[in-house]
């Protein structure tokens, strides 16, 4: 008899969504082991390239890639963030309580993935009502710690206090706490009061599930240049610290050896574009592409870039999907960040320069440009080998299975 997993994650997506595919990939691997997975996600996500097609009812059930079942819960639309997004999270949580779930097999395992963390209260309710064996909370980002440390919000802010209450509830009611951040136990254990609950299962990539889809001629013309291309793919939000990348491009605007490419969307994209000087033609912005096109666009990069701010938050670890997209493409990585023993350091697949410093980014670009071709290729190969050893979804799914059978 098949065992059933329910995943509650308002931001879970499909390959067409262009974002949030972690649970799709895990579900595909679990299917090989005899598990059937039902993913409860929101009917709208501002980060999706393509929104799901729903029937207008409170619940739309759809079979998607690799015959995985998505249960799209109707929720309100919102802009990039703010209170409307918060309200959408609340609506999603409330509607989960009243869904007609008679047609869905009862769960043996329930996973609630945060953020948002509010559905943990629904997950615990379903565990008791439907007799699930286990309730697992998955922490992708540390909230409310993230807005406190990155944006300086007070711990007494009403929204922070609400999220904090749900966080405590989640850590104490769950049977296991899975985190994508390796050092998050230093924070989580103080709240859960049970170090045995914590398990590190990072992000990853499934090189077999990723369809390879070509780019349009227009995009190819923008990225296929006979220059040293420093490229970024991903969200353009506050945490990505991309303003320093723009400043670096301005410092190199008269050096025709280099070209900068940014692929993606996000709330700060208009602001970043406004930073470009009128006499600057060494940087190109490209709208978000499908997940199946990411490898194609990265193939035109000479070096892949990512960055973050200097913050205590990152001492708990990071797990960006960008790492694995870059590693899969066998590209060297230029990272603007503090040394926290992240994946770039562990894999020895790139160069790390100090954060929040455009001059250091320029120095890093020039250093990588001066490297021998074999040296550059070795960095890319190091990342690829590290990815296959530690971050495939086949491996990550096995790490999860150990929790299921405990």
Flag whether 130 is in a domain: yes
Flag whether 123 is in a domain: yes
For residues 245 and 367, membership in a common domain is answered with yes
Q: Are 333 and 304 in contact (CB under 8 A)?
A: yes
Flag whether 162 is in a domain: yes
CA torsion angle 278 282 285 290 (round to 10): 170
pLDDT digits (tens, 9 = 90+) for 142-152: 999 999 998 89
For residues 317 and 377, membership in a common domain is answered with yes
The secondary structure of 314-344 as a DSSP string is GGG----HHHHHHHHTT--EEEES-----HH
State residue 207's pLDDT score. Answer: 73
Backbone angles phi, psi at 26, to 5 degrees: -65, -45
Flag whether 55 is in a domain: yes
Flag whether 209 is in a domain: no
Flag whether 168 is in a domain: yes
Strand locations in 180-320 (E): 198-200, 228-233, 258-263, 283-286, 303-307
For residues 38 and 185, membership in a common domain is answered with yes
For residues 180 and 254, membership in a common domain is answered with no
Q: 41 to each of 66, 72, 73, 113, how far by Cα in Å? A: 17, 5, 6, 10
State residue 217's pLDDT score. Answer: 84
pTM: 0.89
Split the chain (406 residues) into runs of 10 and give each run's mean pLDDT.
Answer: 91 88 94 95 90 89 87 86 83 92 93 95 97 97 91 92 96 97 95 96 80 80 88 92 97 96 93 94 93 90 97 92 93 96 96 98 98 97 96 95 90
For residues 311 and 352, membership in a common domain is answered with yes
Q: Residue 151 and residue 304: Cα distance in Å, rounded?
A: 27
For residues 362 and 378, membership in a common domain is answered with yes
Flag whether 234 is in a domain: yes
E strand or H helix at 83: helix 83-97
Flag whether 311 is in a domain: yes
pLDDT digits (tens, 9 = 90+) for 153-190: 999 999 899 999 999 999 999 999 999 999 999 999 99
Q: Are 7 and 111 in contact (CB under 8 A)?
A: yes
Identify the CATH number of the domain in which residue 329 sits. Answer: 3.40.50.2000
For residues 200 and 235, membership in a common domain is answered with no
CB contact set of 74 (below 8 Å; sequence gap of 6+): 43, 54, 56, 57, 58, 59, 60, 95
Q: Residue 62 and residue 52: Cα distance in Å, rounded?
A: 9
Domain count, the chain: 2
E strand or H helix at 222: helix 217-223
For residues 245 and 258, membership in a common domain is answered with yes
For residues 244 and 167, membership in a common domain is answered with no
State residue 319's pLDDT score. Answer: 85
For residues 171 and 108, membership in a common domain is answered with yes
Residues pairing with 336 in the sheet: 307, 353
Segments forming the whole domain that contains residue 122 = 3-204+392-404
For residues 258 and 225, membership in a common domain is answered with yes
For residues 96 and 225, membership in a common domain is answered with no
Q: 73 to each of 81, 163, 279, 378, how far by Cα in Å? A: 19, 21, 48, 46
């Amino acid at each position: 008899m098949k065992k059933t997993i329910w995943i509650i994650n308002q931001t879970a997506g499909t390959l067409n969504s262009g974002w949030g595919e972690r649970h799709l990939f895990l579900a595909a691997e679990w299917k090989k082991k005899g598990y059937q997975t039902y993913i409860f996600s929101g009917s709208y996500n501002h980060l999706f390239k393509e929104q799901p097609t729903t029937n207008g009812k409170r619940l739309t059930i759809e079979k998607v890639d690799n015959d995985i079942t998505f249960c799209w819960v109707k929720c309100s639309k919102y802009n990039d963030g703010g209170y409307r997004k918060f309200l959408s999270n609340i609506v999603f949580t409330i509607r989960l309580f009243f869904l007609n779930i008679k047609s869905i097999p009862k769960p043996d395992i329930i996973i609630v993935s945060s953020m948002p963390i509010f559905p943990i209260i629904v997950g615990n309710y379903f565990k008791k009502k439907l007799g699930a064996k286990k309730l697992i909370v998955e922490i992708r980002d540390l909230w409310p710690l993230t807005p406190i440390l990155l944006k300086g919000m007070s711990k007494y802010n009403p929204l922070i206090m609400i999220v904090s209450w749900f966080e405590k509830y989640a850590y104490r009611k769950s049977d296991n706490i899975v985190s994508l951040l390796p050092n998050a136990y230093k924070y989580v254990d103080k709240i859960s009061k049970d170090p045995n609950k914590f398990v590190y299962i990072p992000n990853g990539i499934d090189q077999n599930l990723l369809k390879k889809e070509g780019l349009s001629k227009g995009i190819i013309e923008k990225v296929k240049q006979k220059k040293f291309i420093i490229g970024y793919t991903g969200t353009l939000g506050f945490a990505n610290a991309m303003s320093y990348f723009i400043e670096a491009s301005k410092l190199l605007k008269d050096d025709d050896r280099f070209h900068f490419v940014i692929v993606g969307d996000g709330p700060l994209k208009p602001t970043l574009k406004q930073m470009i000087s009128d006499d600057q033609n060494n940087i190109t912005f490209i709208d978000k592409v499908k997940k199946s096109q990411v490898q194609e666009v990265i193939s035109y990069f000479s070096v892949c870039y990512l960055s973050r701010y200097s913050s205590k938050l990152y001492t708990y670890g990071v797990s960006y999907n960008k790492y694995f997209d870059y590693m899969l493409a066998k590209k060297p990585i230029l990272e603007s960040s503090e040394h926290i023993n992240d994946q770039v350091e562990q894999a020895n697949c790139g160069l790390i320069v100090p954060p929040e410093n455009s001059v250091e980014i320029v120095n890093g670009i020039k250093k990588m440009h001066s490297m021998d071709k074999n040296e550059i290729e070795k960095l890319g190969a190091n990342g690829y080998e590290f990815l296959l050893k530690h971050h495939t979804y086949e491996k990550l799914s096995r790490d999860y299975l150990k929790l299921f059978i405990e």
